[in-house]
Amino acid sequence: MADLGFEVNDDTALSRSRLPRWLRPLLMLSVPLLLIAGGVWLYIAGQAYEATDNAYVRQDKVSIAPEVGGRVIEVAVRENVRVREGQLLFRIDPDPYRIALRQADAALAKARVEVDGLGAEVSVADVDIAAARDEIAFAKAEFDRQSELLDRGFTTRARYQAAQLALAKTREQMNTATSEARKARVALGSGGAVSDRPATVEAALAAREEAVLNLSRTEVRAPASGVISQTERLQVGAMLPAGLPTLSLVADGHSWIEANFKETQLRKVLPGQKTTVTIDAYGKALSGHVESIGAGTGSEFALLPAQNANGNWVKVTQRVPVRIAIDSKSDRPLIAGLSAEVKIDVRADANADAR
C-alpha cells in the first residue's frame, strides 16, 4: 500500500513538472475568457435578428353558406377534397323555387293583361272626351240661342234655364272623362322607373327575376379553387336556413405567415426586411420578407378587449401581428394553421436592396 501511494504521487509530480509555470494561469483564464467571448458574440448576433416561434401559416378561408333555405337533396363533395372554381358543392331542393317562378310568370302575365285593359280604358276615355266636346259645343250654342230669345221675349225662362243646365251637365261630363283618362294614363305610367314599361309590369318582371335568381341559388358552387373542409354538418335531408355557414373552403395560391412579435421587438422591424421562415412540420427554411405590421395588438381586436382602467392593472407585454410574405416555394403544401419560427434580419446593410 505504501509503494502504491508513492508511485501515484511521483506520477502527479512528473505531470506537473512537464507544464511550464506561465501556462498554468493562462489555461485557468482561457475557459472564462472563452465563455465571455461566446456571450458577447451571441449578444451581438442577437442584435441583428428578431425572432419568434409564435407564428402560424395563414391562408384565405371562405365560409360557404346557402343564399336560400331548403332541404339538401345532393352533396357532391367530401372532406378535404380539392375543388375547382364553379364546381357544384351541394344542391337544395329546387321544387319550391320552381313553383315560385311559375307564380311570378303568372303575375307577370296578369300585369300585362291589366296594362292592356288600362290602354283600352284610355281609348274609351279619349272617345268620351271627344263626345263631351261636341255636346258642350251643342249645349253652348243652344244656351246662347235661348239667351238671345229671352232678351227679345220670344222664349220662356224655363227653356233658358234648361239650356243652362244642359250646358253645365256636358261640362261635368267633360271633366269626368278627362279625369278617367288621366287616371288610366297614370296607371300606365312608369312612375319614374329607368325603363318606359308600366310600373305594374316592371314590378312583375322584378319579381320574376328574383324567382329565377333564387332557383339558380339552389345549386351552391365553389367561389374559388381550393380544399373543402368541415363537411360533417352537410348531410342529405338536412334543412339549411339561408345564410348559415355550412362548409369552409381553403383557397389555393396564397399563403403567408402571421408572426406575433413582442412589442419590444419591433423597434427595428420595417416592411421589406428579409426573413427566414422555418415550418415546424417540415423543418425546412423558406425565405420571405416583412409585408406589413399590424395596425393594433391582438388584444385590441379581441371580442372582449382588456379593461385596463381599474385598480388591478398589471402590465403585460403585448404582441403585434406581423405579416410575412413567403418568397420561396415550399416542396410540400403549406397547411393553414401550421406552426413556424420566424427570424427577421434587421441589419440595415442586409436590407439595403429590399428598400
pLDDT digits (tens, 9 = 90+) for 135-183: 888 888 887 887 877 777 777 778 878 888 888 888 888 888 787 777 7
26 assigned to some structural domain: no
DSSP letter (8 states) at residue 329? P
Q: Are residues 77 and 120 in the same domain?
A: no
Q: Are residues 86 and 230 in the same domain?
A: yes
304 assigned to some structural domain: yes
pLDDT digits (tens, 9 = 90+) for 88-134: 999 999 999 999 999 999 999 988 888 777 777 777 777 777 877 88
Cell 475557459 appears where? 31
Q: Are residues 138 and 187 in the same domain?
A: yes
Burial of 314 (0-12, 13-18, 19+ CB in 10 A): exposed
Instruction: Summarize the confidence of residues 246-267 as an average pLDDT.
Output: 91
Taking the CB of residue 247, how many other CB atoms lie within 10 A of it?
Answer: 24
CATH code of the domain covering residue 175: 1.10.287.620
Distance CA 228, CA 82 (A): 6
- pLDDT computed for residue 56 by the predictor: 95
* Number of folded domains that form the chain: 3
For residue 192, give its domain range: 97-214
Residues 6+ apart with CB under 8 A from 325: 256, 288, 289, 290, 291
256 contacts 58 by C-beta, under 8 angstroms: yes
Q: Are residues 106 and 200 in the same domain?
A: yes
- pLDDT computed for residue 223 by the predictor: 92
Instruction: Summarize the confidence of residues 71-77 as an average pLDDT.
Output: 93
Q: Are residues 87 and 110 in the same domain?
A: no
Instruction: Summarize the confidence of residues 313-336 as an average pLDDT.
Output: 89
299 assigned to some structural domain: yes
CATH code of the domain covering residue 347: 2.40.30.170
- pLDDT computed for residue 14 by the predictor: 46
Q: Are residues 259 and 195 in the same domain?
A: no
Q: Are residues 149 and 73 in the same domain?
A: no
Quote helix, strand, coil % in the chain, to nearest 5: 45, 25, 30
11 assigned to some structural domain: no
235 assigned to some structural domain: yes
Q: Coil, strand, or helix at residue 351?
A: coil
Q: Are residues 198 and 110 in the same domain?
A: yes
33 assigned to some structural domain: no
Q: Are residues 116 and 175 in the same domain?
A: yes
- pLDDT computed for residue 135 by the predictor: 82
Instruction: Summarize the confidence of residues 279-297 as an average pLDDT.
Output: 91
- pLDDT computed for residue 99 by the predictor: 96
**pLDDT of 270 over the 70 cut:** yes
Q: Output 235 or 43, whichever has higher pLDDT.
A: 235
Cell 374559388 appears where? 224
- pLDDT computed for residue 352 by the predictor: 56
Q: Are residues 176 and 111 in the same domain?
A: yes
Average pLDDT over the chain reads: 82
- pLDDT computed for residue 2 by the predictor: 43
Q: Are residues 188 and 139 in the same domain?
A: yes
Instruction: Summarize the confidence of residues 304-314 as an average pLDDT.
Output: 72
Instruction: Summarize the confidence of residues 70-92 as an average pLDDT.
Output: 93
- pLDDT computed for residue 284 by the predictor: 87
- pLDDT computed for residue 173 by the predictor: 81
167 assigned to some structural domain: yes
Identify the H or E element spanning 326.
Answer: strand 319-326
| Confidence band for 1, pLDDT divided at 50, 70 and 90 | very low
CATH code of the domain covering residue 228: 2.40.50.100
Q: Are residues 344 and 266 in the same domain?
A: yes
Share of the chain above pLDDT 70, in %: 85
